[in-house]
Amino acid sequence: MHRFNKGVEGTQRKHTMPSAPSKLYADDVSLLVVTLDTNPFFWTTFPFPFAEFLSQVLAFLNSILLLGQLNQLIVIATGCNSCAYVYDSTSERNHGSTTGTMPALYSNLLHNLHEFLARDKQLEASHKPGTVPSSLLSGSLSMALCYIQRAFRSGPMPPQPRILCLQGTADGPEQYVAIMNAIFSAQRSTVPIDSCYIGSNNSAFLQQASYITGGIYYKPPQLDGLYQYLSTVFATDLHSRAFLRLPKSVGVDFRASCFCHKQTIDMGFVCSVCLSIFCEHHDKCSTCGSVFGQAQLDASEANRKRKA
Amino acid sequence: MSSGQVVKRVKYKATVKDPGTSGVLKLTQEKFVFKPNDPTSNNKLDVEFRFIKSHKHTKEGSGKPPWLNLTHAQGSYIFELESFADLHVCRELVGIALSKHVQVEATKVISEEQLSSAEMTLRIKLLQEDSKLQRLHKELVASGKLTESEFWATKKKLLDQDESRKLKQRIGFKNSLIFDTKPMSDGRINQVKFQLTPEIKYQIFTLKPAVHQAFLNFVPSKMNEVDFWNKYFKAEYLHSTKNAVAAAAEAAEDEDLAVFLKDDEILEIEARKKVRRVDPTLDMEADQGDDYTHLPDHGIFRDGSKEISEAQNSLYKRTLLQDLNRQGAVVLEGKTLDMEMENPRTVAEILARRKQESDEVLGDERQNRISKMTPIEDLQSQDDHRYAPLCIKDPRDYFDFQQANAVKTLDDSQPGMEQMICSLGSEEAYGSLRASISKIQATGLRDPLFSPEVALKVLHGLTKNISSSKYHLGKTSQESVLDILPNTTKEKLLDHWVCSQELLRHFWSSYPVTTQNLVNKTRRLKDSISQIYSKLEEIKVSAQSDLRHQVSLVVHPMQQALDAALLHYDADIRKRNARGSKSNGYV
């Protein structure tokens, strides 16, 4: 056990990324990629209104830009049928000053979000009535990582990237593999994933994401003060985290989803070749095609055949 | 002997260094009994021969006392006998007794590997270094739950690792100038003698590719080996006399000798090759010293001689600088052969082959280097963006994090998954979301965003959260249920956890059960698993009432895993019994 004296971030990051290549980042310039859960089915069932949530988040996004002139901000909407970039602070279009009543950031973002929802609705696939379909977290994580990879290649001193997931919808176990892949590639490129989960239970995906990448997982208990949580916990840049004591996760749900029925399982079968996870015994691995020995029956049958 | 019983006075030693306990050793064909002279001593032994794996003894005249060493699973019994005659008698009986049991043993353990002493010491070292491993070994092997070889079979990685750690250091060349193989002269006759060993020959071959080439060309077709070396040293001698004119004269007479006297063409080629290997961007002036194309009077002449001779003779001159460079290069390169260097002919041939191979490798290397040095920017992927290694954490880390979570969610006594009911259709859902967006667009953000009371509450909540985790958990970085438990329980739980993991690994890896050996192993493992199961149950029951809930939460997943193994075992047995009648005894 290592000593805990520098805040979760300090120790965990040291722990998780033992030999992370020292990248030359622009000094304390952050590139924050925010994924915004815009699952309409979730928000209509959730007691906290979306308008309230959005205005608190908008204020937070604005303060990120205010924290440093060079800070970059990307917002990705996580719908239940598609994902899209809805705001990019680096694009020229978003540099306009206040239009009418609100800053360009708000009006552009809201406008894009509006359009996104219209497009998302058109793509709609039918889901089981009465249930909340999951948001495409894997998609937005991948988009965030792609953007960050582009930023890495943008010049000699890219800003320090991090991802913040604002998620409310419960995990979609069918996205397990995709999300885990995104998490691991984030870890490989030393991009921490912070998660602010506002849903009623904890999100195992986001817990794992933050645990593996060395980000912060926090589930704010008081949603009407969301802005304050966001600004005190998630606004801190990576450098400052080494000196701050931030809330730390109190446990991670490491359960996996099976590849066959996409259910979260406690115990299951693991392919000895490719480590795919199944909830029941299969004769053949659906991922890598390995044929599993059918213990006794086949052995004795083979024996009998040989004998004959 | 005829009665099959031998009684001797011996000293029993638990270890080699043990001074020993004197007593009486009684050997029969079934077992041996040691009774110490001092009845209070607890070094009594009563061991059946079926537990003994092998026996060793010291040789007469080896300077060691007559020792009989009986090895068993966890060590050995050493008996020091009074004389070698006694030892022989005992040894004979032990041999008979053991051979009786070997057959029984053979059916029992099919592939009990024969261990070299090196392997044994390695294992012992590993155990000594890692107290956890040692505890596990004691728990599993000493109690007979696993055999020694089974235990180590899953730890192959550990063994290999250690193997690679003590990679043998390669022996290099001596860093003395072989060019200066000094002649020995007794001063009486007009004759000098050179010392020549296979090692020196080998070194000459690598140092002077021209000699190497000449050897391959001339020996044995043109001259025999002795003549070859005579010629070589004659040339060397001429060099050492610093008489370039004389050397030139000799070379004119004997064309074979000329080969040695001329500057190595091969060396020159090699130097060029080396030059090509240097970064294309490097200033080559610096490398001139290693190059044979430079002007003759740039180098320092051997032994500092400033004698200026005619240009045509400069062919036969070598500079000290060149010699030193060449020597340094060869020494740094090290020996490429690791073999007995008896026959110079084979050495020469192998060297030639080796060099060709390394030249090919160098060619590839050059290609790579060029492609690295001269990138076309658009086409190159960026090298500077490297990736962090995939992190796989300590299992204990995962355990802690997951346990804390299990307790937490259950303590909140939340219903597992609150399935939210969404009665709205997609039309309404999207509509309401769009309405909220329009609302913000129309009215802007609320001002103030939230009330001061809420802000205060949030601040208090966060502070409490952070400070409580600080005070409750102190220095440990993770909140772990284990830390709430008393130390003994915690230790016990962790031990059982490690133990059950090991057992389960063995258990599942022995399926499908194809041999009698595996049948026995699974039965053995099943018994141990059920033992651990009941031990866990005990811990659960014995825990203090306020902790019982936590303990059972920790124990639950472990028991679950064990349960699965037991269920599988029963199902498998049932399946095999059902088929057993049909399959003519095939297991």
Residues in chain B within 8 Å Cβ distance of A267? 560-561, 564
The residue-averaged pLDDT of B251-272 equals 66
Asked whether the predicted pLDDT for residue B112 surpasses 90, the reply is no
pLDDT tens for B144-181 read 777 777 777 777 767 666 555 555 556 666 666 655 55
Give the pLDDT confidence of B407-430 residue by residue, as tens digits. 554 444 344 444 556 566 778 888
Among B450, B472, B473, B556, which would you mutate to test the A interface (most chain A Cβ atoms within 10 Å of its Cβ)?
A: B450
B162 HSE (CA, 13 A, CB side): 16
Among the listed ranges B222-226, B297-301, B553-557, which one has the minimum average pLDDT value?
A: B297-301
Which residues of chain B from 402 to 441 reach within 8 Å of chain A, CB to CB?
Answer: 402-409, 414, 417-424, 426, 428-430, 432-434, 436-441
Q: Which of B428, B458, B479 sits opposite A225 (nearest CB)?
A: B458
By Cβ distance, the residue of A1, A189, A254 closest to B476 is A1
Write down the mean pLDDT value for chain B.
70
How many residues are there in chain B? Answer: 587
- For chain A positions 75-134, those within 8 Å of chain B (CB to CB) are 101-102, 106-107, 110-111, 113-114, 117-118, 120-121, 124, 130-132
pLDDT at residue B246, as a whole number? 67
Q: Is the pLDDT of residue B240 over 80?
A: no
The span from the first CA to the last CA of chain A, in angstroms, equals 61
Q: Is the pLDDT of residue A212 over 70?
A: yes
- Going by pLDDT thresholds of 50, 70 and 90, the confidence category of residue B191 is low
pLDDT band at A296 (very low <50, low <70, confident <90, very high): very low
Residue A154 has pLDDT above 70, yes or no: yes
User: Would you call B449 and A227 a contact, using CB atoms and an 8 Å cutoff?
Assistant: yes
Kindly tell me if the per-residue pLDDT of A67 is higher than 50. Answer: yes
Residue B16 contacts residue B37 (beta carbons within 8 Å):
no
Which one has a higher pLDDT value, B275 or B470?
B275
Q: Minimum mean pLDDT among B307-316, B381-390, B496-505, B562-571: which range?
A: B307-316
Of A228, A251, A296, the CB nearest to B401: A251
Q: Nearest to residue A43, comparing CAs of A122, A120, A148?
A: A120
Q: Determine whether the interchain pair A5/B475 forms a contact, defined as Cβ–Cβ distance below 8 Å.
A: yes
Q: Give the whole-angstrom CA distance, residue B438 versus residue A80.
A: 20
A175 CB-side CA count, 13 A: 22
pLDDT in tens, B321-367: 777 777 777 777 766 555 555 566 777 777 777 777 777 777 777 77
Instruction: State how far Cα B297 lies from the chain centre.
Output: 53
In angstroms, the Cα distances linking A133 to A127, A297, B279, B337, B432 are: 7, 43, 59, 68, 17
Q: What is the DSSP string of B487-498?
A: HHHHHHHHHHHH
Of B241-245, B289-293, B562-566, the range with the highest mean pLDDT is: B562-566
CB A186 within 8 A of CB A57: no
Rounded Cα distance between A94 and A72, Å, is 12
B113 compared with B281, residue with greater pLDDT? B281
Does residue B318 carry a pLDDT above 80?
A: no
pLDDT at B396: 65
Contacts of A45 in chain B (CB under 8 A): 420-422, 424
User: pLDDT higher for A48 or A23?
Assistant: A48
Q: Is the pLDDT of residue B301 over 60?
A: no
A40, B433: Cβ pair inside 8 Å?
Answer: yes
Q: Is B168 near chain A, with CB under 8 Å?
A: no
CA dist., res. A300 & res. B585, Å (int) = 10
User: Mapping DSSP to helix (H, G, I), strand (E, B) and coil, where does residue A293 land?
Assistant: coil
Output the pLDDT for position B11: 82
Q: How confident is the model at residue B547 (pLDDT cuts 50, 70, 90)?
A: confident
Which chain B residues contact residue A266 at CB under 8 A?
Answer: 557, 560
State the burial class of residue A108 (Cβ atoms within 10 Å of its Cβ: 0-12, 13-18, 19+).
buried
The more confident residue out of A233 and B11 is A233
**B84-105 average pLDDT score:** 71
Query: Would you call A225 and B455 a contact, using CB atoms and an 8 Å cutoff?
Result: yes
Of the given ranges (A13-27, A60-74, A89-103, B222-236), which has the lowest mean pLDDT?
A13-27
CB nearest to A225's CB, from B421, B426, B457: B457
Q: What is the pLDDT of residues A234-255, one digit of tens each?
A: 998 888 888 888 887 767 777 7
Using a pLDDT cut of 90, give the percent of chain A over it.
29
Residue that has been written with the tokens 């005249």 in this structure? B61
Asked if pLDDT for residue A6 goes beyond 50, the answer is no
Residue from the list B449, B458, B477 with its beta carbon closest to the beta carbon of A1: B477
Strand order in the sheet with B5-13: B45-48, B31-36, B21-28, B5-13, B75-81, B67-72, B52-57
Per-residue pLDDT, B1: 44
**Residue pairs spanning A and B at CB distance below 8 A:** 228
Show the domains of chain A with their CATH numbers. 2-241 (3.40.50.410), 256-307 (no CATH)
**Given CB atoms, is B562 within the 8 Å cutoff of chain A?**
no
Q: Is pLDDT above 70 for B280?
A: no
Q: Which residues of A touch B409 (CB under 8 A)?
A: 201-202, 251, 253
Of A42, A56, A267, Cβ closest to residue B561: A267
Q: Does residue A38 register a pLDDT over 80?
A: yes
Per residue in A146-159, is it b (16+ CB within 10 Å) or e — as a string? ebbbebbeeeeebb
Predicted pLDDT at B523: 86
Q: What is the DSSP letter of B292?
A: T
Give the pLDDT of residue B201. 76
Distance between CA atoms of residues B462 and A218, nearest Å: 10
- Note whether B426 contacts A124, CB cutoff 8 Å: yes
Pairing state between β A193-197 and A160-167: parallel
Kindly indicate the confidence band of residue A196, based on its pLDDT and cuts at 50, 70 and 90. Answer: very high
Q: Look at residue A234 in the predicted model and tell me its pLDDT.
A: 92
Range ranked top by mean pLDDT from B81-85, B197-201, B436-440, B548-552: B436-440
Contact status of B390 with chain A (Cβ, < 8 Å): yes
> Which of A127-136, B46-55, B297-306 has the weakest average pLDDT?
B297-306
- Interface probe with A: pick from B392, B422, B472, B490, most Cβ of A within 10 Å: B422
According to the per-residue pLDDT averaged within each range, which of A82-86, B33-37, B401-405, B428-432 is highest? Answer: A82-86
Across the interface, whether the CB atoms of A43 and B469 are under 8 A apart is answered no
What is the reported pLDDT for A201? 80
Query: Half-sphere exposure (CA, 13 Å, Cβ side) for B390?
Result: 7
Residue A278 sits at the vertex; the CA angle it makes with A272 and A279, to the nearest 5 degrees, is 135
- Return the bridge partners of B72, or none: B52, B75
| CB contacts, 8 Å: B472 with chain A | none
Q: In chain B, pLDDT over 90 holds for what percent of residues?
A: 0
- Tens digits of per-residue pLDDT, A252-273? 777 788 888 877 787 788 888 8
A281 touches chain B (CB under 8 A): no
Amino acid B447: pLDDT:
77
Q: What pLDDT does residue B77 have?
A: 79
Tokens, residue A142:
């991948």
Prior bond to B512 cis, omega within 30? yes
Q: Which residue of A has its CA nearest to B435?
A: A51
Choose from A52, A198, A224 for mutation: most chain B CBs within 10 A. A224
Tokens of B144: 């007979």
Per-residue pLDDT at A238: 87
* pLDDT classification of B105: cutoffs 50, 70, 90: very low
Say how far apart CA B449 and CA B433 lie, in whole Å: 20
Smallest Cβ distance to A248: which of B444, B457, B469? B469
Q: What is the pLDDT of residue B449?
A: 82
Q: Using a CB–CB cutoff of 8 Å, tell me whether A243 touches chain B.
A: no
Contact B449 A296 (CB under 8 A): no
CB contact under 8 A, B560 and A266: yes
Note whether B205 and B212 are within 8 A (CB): yes
Closest Cβ opposite residue B440 in set A19, A40, A54: A54
Say whether pLDDT at A130 is over 80.
no
Report pLDDT for B263: 56
Q: Is 0.80 surpassed by the pTM of this model?
A: no
**At how many degrees (to 10) do helices B198-207 and B320-333 cross?**
110
Task: Say what the pLDDT of residue A300 is.
Answer: 37
